[in-house]
Structure 1
Amino acid sequence: MTYFLDVDDADLARLHRDLAARAAADGLLDVAYRTVDSPVGPLLLARTPVGLVRVAFGVQDHDAVLTALASTVSPRVLEAPERLDDVARELDEYFAGRRTTFDLPLDLQLLRGFRRDVVLHLPDIAYGHTASYAEMAGLAGSPRAVRAVGTACALNPLPVVLPCHRVVRSDGSPGQYAGGAAAKLTLLDLETRVGVAA
């Protein structure tokens, strides 16, 4: 004989919140995640106890990103939206044009070597401005490594927060972007409009 419990969505949500809280309290939640809507599509946000570890665009396949986090960071991954409320709030402020920099703890464990050097210099590009791949190569200490800068930007685990969208080709054209060309243009346009209005 099979029994079915009559559990509504509110009960399931409460049970899930309780599970996330207990896992965190017991040190069993290594990667908390949530999804938020944005002008560039759904964004997956993931954090460790150290800080924000991953931001991923919808075109990057959120399930694949979570699987990668489970294999590279920890298999203890759980949807825990409230643990990313500060990130969601700052992103909302950014997309509303009320925030030009992010003030979040970051976990940079997914970055190594030259890629890390490049990504750490991304916040040096002022809001509403751009820098070329060649300029970024110089800032990272390897002026000839223009293609490697492109790769570093494409693999940036924290797009938007660490603004790889501000890196463009030497002729001023946008170039490639992990979130897609439309997302990059949306972000650049947002910053240009807000910068002009300020």
Structure 2
Amino acid sequence: MSKLYALSYVSPIGEIEIQGTHEAVYSIMFSNRNEPSTRVIEEAPVQVLKECASQLDEYFKGERFEFSFPYAYEGTDFQQKVWNALVNVGYGKTTAYKDIALAIGNEKAIRAVGSANGKNKLSIVIPCHRIIGSNQKLTGYAGGLWRKEWLLQHEKRCLGS
């Protein structure tokens, strides 16, 4: 892989660190710091990272429902199948882990789908926050359940306006 660069973006629900190369974004993760980082990550971030931050900003303002910047992910074939299926869960919608397992043709892989979901490094863009339990309850989210709930409510509010 090419040299990785990073850029911090301060969202309404905390700082997000975006990492990538000149070609694509590889990671969009909540940093879980209470305040923005003071460290200089890159004086002149690469264009793809700036575009990602710009599109995230539009998402949080309720102006963007899909992402178009280049991104890439690395994982097992199974994980990639799961992540590809997650992209098909529409903005403001939710689906269950079981439904994703069915969508990838492996109905017994519910727990494995959950595990793959938890390894997603492209938060919000690969919308793992839209996956809930079969009982319609919120379950695990790397950024914290409160963020998952916020993101789901945000999308529903934006669709309603």
User: What is the TM-score normalised by the length of structure 1?
Assistant: 0.72
Counterpart of 1:147 in structure 2: which amino acid?
R
What's the CA shift string for 1:100-151, capped at 9, x where partnerless? 010011122x222211110111111110100100001111221110011111
Identity of aligned residues (%): 32
Question: The residue matched to 2:14 in structure 1 has which SS?
Answer: coil
Residue pairs, 1:1-198, within 5 angstroms: 30-59=3-32, 79=42, 82-83=45-46, 84-108=49-73, 110-197=74-161
What's the CA shift string for 1:53-77, capped at 9, x where partnerless? 01111239xxxxxxxxxxxxxxxxx
Q: Answer whether contact 1:50 1:107 (CA < 8 A) is retained.
A: no
**Within 2, Cα distance between the matches of 1:141 and 1:33?**
36
**Structure 2 residue aligned with 1:18:** none
Q: CA RMSD in A?
A: 1.5
**Within 2, Cα distance between the matches of 1:116 and 1:40?**
27
Q: Answer whether contact 2:16 2:31 (CA < 8 A) is retained.
A: yes
More helix by share: 1
What's the CA shift string for 1:4-59, capped at 9, x where partnerless? xxxxxxxxxxxxxxxxxxxxxxxxx6111111101221100011233110111123
Question: The residue matched to 1:43 in structure 2 has which SS?
Answer: strand
Q: Answer whether contact 1:165 1:184 (CA < 8 A) is retained.
A: yes
Residue 167 to residue 79, structure 1, CA distance change in 2 (3 Å): same
**In the TM superposition, what is the alpha-carbon distance from 1:162 to its structure 2 partner?**
0.7
Gapped runs of 5+ residues in structure 1? 1-28, 61-77
**Within 1, Cα distance between the matches of 2:131 and 2:150?**
14
Aligned length: 151
Q: Answer whether contact 1:169 1:175 (CA < 8 A) is retained.
A: yes
**In the TM superposition, what is the alpha-carbon distance from 1:82 to its structure 2 partner?**
2.9
**In the TM superposition, what is the alpha-carbon distance from 1:80 to its structure 2 partner?**
5.1
Q: Answer whether contact 1:31 1:46 (CA < 8 A) is retained.
A: yes
Q: Answer whether contact 1:43 1:57 (CA < 8 A) is retained.
A: yes
